Chain A
Amino acid sequence: GAGVSQTPSNKVTEKGKYVELRCDPISGHTALYWYRQSLGQGPEFLIYFQGTGAADDSGLPNDRFFAVRPEGSVSTLKIQRTERGDSAVYLCASSPTGGENGYTFGSGTRLTVV
Protein backbone atom coordinates (compact mmCIF):
# COMPACT_ATOMS: atom_id res chain seq x y z
CA GLY A 1 0.00 0.00 0.00
CA ALA A 2 0.90 3.66 -0.16
CA GLY A 3 1.40 4.01 3.56
CA VAL A 4 1.42 2.10 6.82
CA SER A 5 -2.09 1.04 7.69
CA GLN A 6 -3.23 0.29 11.23
CA THR A 7 -6.54 -1.19 12.26
CA PRO A 8 -8.65 -0.53 14.15
CA SER A 9 -8.10 3.20 14.56
CA ASN A 10 -9.86 3.09 17.92
CA LYS A 11 -10.47 0.20 20.29
CA VAL A 12 -12.31 0.27 23.60
CA THR A 13 -12.10 -2.87 25.68
CA GLU A 14 -12.90 -3.96 29.18
CA LYS A 15 -10.20 -4.65 31.72
CA GLY A 16 -9.08 -8.26 31.52
CA LYS A 17 -10.00 -8.78 27.88
CA TYR A 18 -7.69 -9.79 25.03
CA VAL A 19 -7.03 -7.44 22.11
CA GLU A 20 -5.25 -7.65 18.78
CA LEU A 21 -3.93 -4.64 16.90
CA ARG A 22 -3.01 -4.99 13.25
CA CYS A 23 -0.32 -3.28 11.19
CA ASP A 24 0.03 -3.47 7.42
CA PRO A 25 3.42 -1.98 6.45
CA ILE A 26 4.49 -0.41 3.20
CA SER A 27 4.93 -3.13 0.60
CA GLY A 28 8.51 -4.36 0.45
CA HIS A 29 9.58 -2.88 3.79
CA THR A 30 11.43 -5.56 5.69
CA ALA A 31 11.73 -3.68 8.99
CA LEU A 32 8.64 -3.18 11.16
CA TYR A 33 8.41 -1.48 14.53
CA TRP A 34 5.81 -1.12 17.25
CA TYR A 35 5.83 1.87 19.59
CA ARG A 36 3.49 2.95 22.36
CA GLN A 37 2.63 6.57 23.04
CA SER A 38 0.97 7.46 26.32
CA LEU A 39 -0.79 10.76 26.80
CA GLY A 40 1.69 13.64 26.86
CA GLN A 41 4.69 11.42 26.18
CA GLY A 42 6.93 10.62 23.26
CA PRO A 43 6.61 7.23 21.59
CA GLU A 44 8.38 4.38 23.38
CA PHE A 45 9.85 1.39 21.59
CA LEU A 46 8.15 -1.97 22.04
CA ILE A 47 9.44 -4.41 19.41
CA TYR A 48 11.27 -4.53 16.09
CA PHE A 49 10.94 -7.13 13.34
CA GLN A 50 13.37 -7.74 10.53
CA GLY A 51 11.46 -9.98 8.16
CA THR A 52 9.54 -12.61 10.09
CA GLY A 53 11.67 -12.64 13.21
CA ALA A 54 11.58 -10.36 16.22
CA ALA A 55 15.07 -8.86 16.14
CA ASP A 56 14.53 -6.93 19.38
CA ASP A 57 11.61 -7.30 21.78
CA SER A 58 13.29 -5.58 24.69
CA GLY A 59 10.62 -2.88 24.89
CA LEU A 60 7.67 -5.16 25.57
CA PRO A 61 6.63 -4.23 29.13
CA ASN A 62 5.70 -7.73 30.32
CA ASP A 63 4.59 -11.15 29.13
CA ARG A 64 1.04 -9.99 28.48
CA PHE A 65 2.35 -8.34 25.33
CA PHE A 66 3.27 -10.38 22.28
CA ALA A 67 3.68 -9.59 18.58
CA VAL A 68 3.97 -11.71 15.45
CA ARG A 69 4.78 -11.21 11.81
CA PRO A 70 4.41 -14.69 10.33
CA GLU A 71 4.90 -13.90 6.66
CA GLY A 72 7.19 -10.91 6.96
CA SER A 73 4.50 -8.41 6.06
CA VAL A 74 1.44 -7.82 8.29
CA SER A 75 2.10 -7.76 12.01
CA THR A 76 -0.26 -8.23 14.94
CA LEU A 77 0.35 -6.90 18.43
CA LYS A 78 -1.50 -8.98 21.01
CA ILE A 79 -2.27 -7.90 24.55
CA GLN A 80 -3.68 -10.39 27.04
CA ARG A 81 -5.57 -9.57 30.25
CA THR A 82 -5.61 -5.87 29.44
CA GLU A 83 -5.15 -3.37 32.24
CA ARG A 84 -6.18 0.29 32.43
CA GLY A 85 -2.51 1.24 32.25
CA ASP A 86 -2.32 -0.27 28.78
CA SER A 87 -4.44 2.60 27.47
CA ALA A 88 -2.33 4.45 24.90
CA VAL A 89 -1.86 4.98 21.19
CA TYR A 90 -0.04 2.06 19.63
CA LEU A 91 2.02 3.11 16.63
CA CYS A 92 3.41 0.92 13.90
CA ALA A 93 6.18 1.98 11.54
CA SER A 94 8.11 0.39 8.71
CA SER A 95 11.30 1.07 6.78
CA PRO A 96 13.01 -0.52 3.78
CA THR A 97 15.84 -2.08 5.75
CA GLY A 98 16.79 -0.46 9.02
CA GLY A 99 15.94 2.83 10.67
CA GLU A 100 18.92 4.92 9.61
CA ASN A 101 16.81 7.06 7.27
CA GLY A 102 13.81 7.20 9.58
CA TYR A 103 10.61 5.26 9.51
CA THR A 104 7.16 5.80 8.02
CA PHE A 105 4.55 5.69 10.75
CA GLY A 106 0.94 4.67 10.63
CA SER A 107 -1.79 6.76 12.23
CA GLY A 108 -1.92 4.49 15.25
CA THR A 109 -4.54 2.56 17.18
CA ARG A 110 -5.95 4.35 20.20
CA LEU A 111 -6.58 1.68 22.83
CA THR A 112 -8.77 2.51 25.79
CA VAL A 113 -9.17 -0.01 28.58
CA VAL A 114 -12.18 0.68 30.80
Chain B
Amino acid sequence: AQSVTQLDSHVSVSEGTPVLLRCNYSSSYSPSLFWYVQHPNKGLQLLLKYTSAATLVKGINGFEAEFKKSETSFHLTKPSAHMSDAAEYFCVSYGGATNKLIFGTGTLLAVQP
Protein backbone atom coordinates (compact mmCIF):
# COMPACT_ATOMS: atom_id res chain seq x y z
CA ALA B 1 0.00 0.00 0.00
CA GLN B 2 1.13 3.52 -0.67
CA SER B 3 1.65 5.99 2.13
CA VAL B 4 3.56 9.13 3.01
CA THR B 5 5.10 10.09 6.33
CA GLN B 6 5.75 13.68 7.26
CA LEU B 7 8.51 13.62 9.82
CA ASP B 8 7.75 16.90 11.57
CA SER B 9 4.36 18.09 12.74
CA HIS B 10 5.67 21.63 13.41
CA VAL B 11 8.59 23.56 11.94
CA SER B 12 9.57 27.08 12.96
CA VAL B 13 12.03 29.22 11.00
CA SER B 14 13.04 32.86 10.96
CA GLU B 15 12.16 35.04 8.02
CA GLY B 16 14.91 34.91 5.41
CA THR B 17 16.28 31.51 6.50
CA PRO B 18 15.91 28.24 4.58
CA VAL B 19 12.89 25.98 4.89
CA LEU B 20 13.06 22.18 4.95
CA LEU B 21 9.90 20.11 5.32
CA ARG B 22 10.55 16.38 5.30
CA CYS B 23 8.50 13.65 3.67
CA ASN B 24 9.17 9.96 3.13
CA TYR B 25 7.05 7.77 0.93
CA SER B 26 6.31 4.10 0.84
CA SER B 27 5.41 2.55 -2.48
CA SER B 28 5.98 -0.63 -4.39
CA TYR B 29 6.50 1.37 -7.57
CA SER B 30 7.61 4.86 -8.53
CA PRO B 31 4.77 7.03 -7.29
CA SER B 32 3.39 10.41 -8.27
CA LEU B 33 4.05 12.77 -5.38
CA PHE B 34 2.76 16.22 -4.56
CA TRP B 35 3.06 18.99 -2.03
CA TYR B 36 -0.04 20.98 -1.18
CA VAL B 37 -0.26 24.09 1.00
CA GLN B 38 -3.21 25.15 3.12
CA HIS B 39 -3.35 28.66 4.50
CA PRO B 40 -5.67 29.30 7.47
CA ASN B 41 -9.32 29.04 6.46
CA LYS B 42 -8.34 28.58 2.82
CA GLY B 43 -8.50 25.69 0.39
CA LEU B 44 -5.67 23.36 -0.52
CA GLN B 45 -3.36 24.70 -3.20
CA LEU B 46 -1.00 22.58 -5.29
CA LEU B 47 2.61 23.69 -4.78
CA LEU B 48 4.37 21.19 -7.02
CA LYS B 49 4.20 17.66 -8.37
CA TYR B 50 6.60 14.86 -9.26
CA THR B 51 5.49 12.49 -11.98
CA SER B 52 8.83 10.82 -12.90
CA ALA B 53 9.96 13.33 -15.51
CA ALA B 54 12.66 15.11 -13.48
CA THR B 55 13.82 14.41 -9.94
CA LEU B 56 14.14 18.08 -8.99
CA VAL B 57 10.76 19.72 -9.20
CA LYS B 58 10.19 23.45 -9.02
CA GLY B 59 6.89 24.79 -7.78
CA ILE B 60 5.21 28.06 -7.06
CA ASN B 61 6.41 30.73 -4.60
CA GLY B 62 10.03 29.60 -4.79
CA PHE B 63 9.48 26.11 -3.39
CA GLU B 64 11.12 23.03 -4.81
CA ALA B 65 11.35 19.35 -3.95
CA GLU B 66 13.76 16.58 -4.86
CA PHE B 67 12.66 13.00 -5.43
CA LYS B 68 15.31 10.63 -4.04
CA LYS B 69 14.46 7.02 -4.75
CA SER B 70 17.42 5.67 -2.75
CA GLU B 71 16.12 7.47 0.35
CA THR B 72 12.41 7.20 -0.51
CA SER B 73 12.19 10.90 0.23
CA PHE B 74 10.51 13.93 -1.29
CA HIS B 75 11.54 16.83 0.95
CA LEU B 76 10.23 20.34 0.31
CA THR B 77 12.69 23.24 0.43
CA LYS B 78 12.82 26.97 -0.05
CA PRO B 79 16.02 29.06 0.19
CA SER B 80 14.49 31.99 2.06
CA ALA B 81 11.28 31.97 4.07
CA HIS B 82 8.72 34.77 3.85
CA MET B 83 6.10 35.58 6.45
CA SER B 84 3.46 34.66 3.89
CA ASP B 85 4.78 31.07 3.81
CA ALA B 86 3.30 30.38 7.24
CA ALA B 87 0.74 27.64 6.58
CA GLU B 88 0.19 23.90 6.77
CA TYR B 89 1.95 21.77 4.17
CA PHE B 90 0.86 18.32 3.08
CA CYS B 91 2.95 15.71 1.32
CA VAL B 92 0.68 13.60 -0.87
CA SER B 93 1.04 10.47 -2.95
CA TYR B 94 -1.15 9.33 -5.80
CA GLY B 95 -2.34 5.75 -5.63
CA GLY B 96 -2.56 4.94 -9.32
CA ALA B 97 -4.55 1.74 -8.95
CA THR B 98 -7.01 3.38 -6.59
CA ASN B 99 -6.98 6.79 -8.27
CA LYS B 100 -6.84 8.51 -4.87
CA LEU B 101 -4.56 11.07 -3.31
CA ILE B 102 -3.18 9.86 0.03
CA PHE B 103 -2.32 12.72 2.38
CA GLY B 104 0.31 12.88 5.06
CA THR B 105 -0.57 14.27 8.46
CA GLY B 106 0.75 17.71 7.63
CA THR B 107 3.54 20.01 8.81
CA LEU B 108 2.65 23.37 10.28
CA LEU B 109 5.24 25.95 9.24
CA ALA B 110 5.66 29.02 11.43
CA VAL B 111 7.79 31.94 10.21
CA GLN B 112 9.16 34.25 12.87
CA PRO B 113 10.01 37.89 12.08
**Chain A residues close to B by CB (< 8 Å):** 4, 31, 33, 35, 40-45, 48, 50, 55-56, 91, 93, 98-108
A56 and B98 within 8 A (CB): yes
Question: Does B105 count as interface, using CB distance less than 8 angstroms?
Answer: yes
Answer whether A43 and B49 are a contact pair too, CB < 8 Å, given A56-B98, A91-B44, A100-B94: no
**Chain B residues close to A by CB (< 8 Å):** 32, 34, 36, 42-46, 49, 51, 90, 92, 94, 96, 98-106
Distance from B106 Cβ to chain A, minimum over Cβ atoms (Å)? 5
A91 and B100 within 8 A (CB): no
Main secondary structure of the interface of B (DSSP, over half): strand
B99 and A106 within 8 A (CB): no
Q: Which residues of B contact A98 (CB under 8 A)?
A: 99
A102 and B101 within 8 A (CB): yes
Q: Which residues of A contact B106 (CB under 8 A)?
A: 40-42
B98 and A102 within 8 A (CB): no
Distance from A18 Cβ to chain B, minimum over Cβ atoms (Å)? 26
A45 and B101 within 8 A (CB): yes
Contact among A43, A99, A102, A105 for B99, CB-based, below 8 A: A99
Contact among B49, B51, B96, B100 for A56, CB-based, below 8 A: B100
A101 and B100 within 8 A (CB): no
Answer whether A102 and B100 are a contact pair too, CB < 8 Å, given A43-B44, A107-B42, A108-B43: no
A99 and B100 within 8 A (CB): yes
B103 and A44 within 8 A (CB): yes
B106 (CB) vs chain A CBs: closest residue: A42
Complex Cα distance, B16 from A37, in Å, reads 31
Q: Which of B34, B44, B94, B105 has the most CB of A within 10 A?
A: B44
